[in-house]
Structure formats: structure tokens, C-alpha cells
Structure 1
Amino acid sequence: MNKACPVVVRNREDQFEVLVFRHPIAGIQLVKGTVEPGESSRSASERELEEEAGIKLKAEHLLLEWQRNPEEPTWAIWLMEPGDHLPDCWDHYCEDDGGRLFHYFWHPLSLSTDSE
């Protein structure tokens, strides 16, 4: 089954941030999930974001389709509409895998190439 990954970014005080969540067992992650039969990767990205984060945003740009080898799924990475209006953090109960509480927050995207 192919996979979809919606990426949400925002700009706060000239600092770009990406939306991530803390999984209670598996650590910090991006939202991701399976593309259902007959569903587009765009629609899957929008659905997964709503199911896993409780937010509705449109998928705006396909950033990447990637497959490591023919036996593995193809990953579609979608840039969603900006999340500038979203809160700094929130918790969302996701019913996948028997139900888990995910803590959402913004992680800075450093564009610095400083090498010391």
C-alpha cells in the first residue's frame, strides 16, 4: 500500500517551523498514513491530517514521490496550506492502532549552514 505524508509549515517571527507530534511510544514524527484503494495521495494526505491531528487543511503542492525499491510503497509528500493560524501546541486523540493521544507542536526548520 502506498503512503501519504502531509507536511504543514508556518512562519513565526521569520522562523519557519514544521508541524510534528510526539507519539507516546515511537517518538517525534510527521503525520503519515496509507493511501486507501481508489484514493489519491492528495486526498489521503488531507484525510490523514484530519484523523491524526484533528485539523483540516488542503494539500497544495506535491513535493516528492519516492520509492526506495520496487518491493516497498511509494511515498507521496504533500505540502499543505500554511498552518499560520494553528495554535502553538495541542493534543489530539487518534483512534488508529487502538487509540493514542498525540501531542502536536512546531519544530523549527533551520536554514543555517553554519559549520564550526
Structure 2
Amino acid sequence: MLRPAGGRLEILAFRHPLAGLQLVKGTIEAGEDPGAAACRELAEECGLVAVGPPVFLFDSSDLPDADRWFFYLCPVEGVLEDRWDFETADDGGQRFRFFWHGLEDDLSDEWHPLFVEVFSKLLPVLKALVAEP
């Protein structure tokens, strides 16, 4: 999820109760298309339903020490709140606290170092996508 706000881009992020600040992610199930997995994880982790096909951004295969992650932009309808909580059904239920993070904002040490690397790659990809006619 991405939104323009005040002349800048913001990405949907959340505070995991045990693992700090993160982006929505998850495991691809056997035989599942990565784009379909992205849409499923969006619904499972924050309750949002994609309304169109996901747009592939990049994968993490060139990041050191990374599992292979696929990044997609999943369109949803409507205007989302600035912050909200969502109770997940997995792992016995956990409350994720969602917020919007400016793509060019500094990352605190609450972010895992791998996400810091992801942001460095994500920013130019998303800027190029938004600049396309």
C-alpha cells in the first residue's frame, strides 16, 4: 500500500507486538502465485482487500542475507485512516498497529536492518512508478 500525502509518498507499515516495525509480508503457500500471496497477506495482516491486480515492484534476491521476498503494490478502494489496529487470526491472534511511513523519512532502530535495505531499493522503484504517465 502506498499513498501520496503532502507532496511525498507514504507506505503502509505496522508495529508488530513482538518484532518491531515492519511492512506487510508473509509466506507464499505451495503453488501460490507471489502476487496472489501479496493480496492474501494484505487481507490476513491488516484486513484490506485488494480490488485490482497487484503490481510487481521487485524481489529481494539481490539483497544480502535476505530470504527471497517479492514486493507488490496492491490497490484497495477508499481512503484509509492515518492509524488503525488490526487483530490477526494467525499465531493465536496478534494486534498489529498500522501507520503510514514516509518513504524518505529516517528509519529508527525499531526497523530490522533488512527493512532498511528494502527501503533503499523501494524508494527509487516507487518514485519511478508514480512518475509514469
Q: Does 1:74 align with 2:68?
A: yes
Match of residue 39 from structure 1 = 32
Q: Does 1:110 align with 2:104?
A: yes
Q: By percentage of residues, which structure has more strand?
A: 1
Q: Distance in 1 between matches of 2:21 and 2:95?
A: 13
**Identity rate, percent:** 40
How much has 1:19 moved relative to structure 2?
A: 0.3
**Which segments of 5 or more consecutive residues in structure 1 lack a partner in the other structure?**
1-7, 112-116
- Alpha-carbon contact 1:19-1:107 (below 8 Å) kept: yes
- In structure 2, do the counterparts of structure 1 residues 47 and 77 end up closer, same or farther at CA, with 3 Å as the change threshold? same
Q: By percentage of residues, which structure has more helix?
A: 2
- In structure 2, do the counterparts of structure 1 residues 31 and 83 end up closer, same or farther at CA, with 3 Å as the change threshold? farther
- Alpha-carbon contact 2:56-2:73 (below 8 Å) kept: yes
How much has 1:37 moved relative to structure 2?
A: 1.1
Q: Distance in 2 between matches of 1:59 and 1:89?
A: 25
| Matched pairs, number | 102
Q: CA RMSD in A?
A: 2.2
TM-score, normalization by structure 2: 0.68
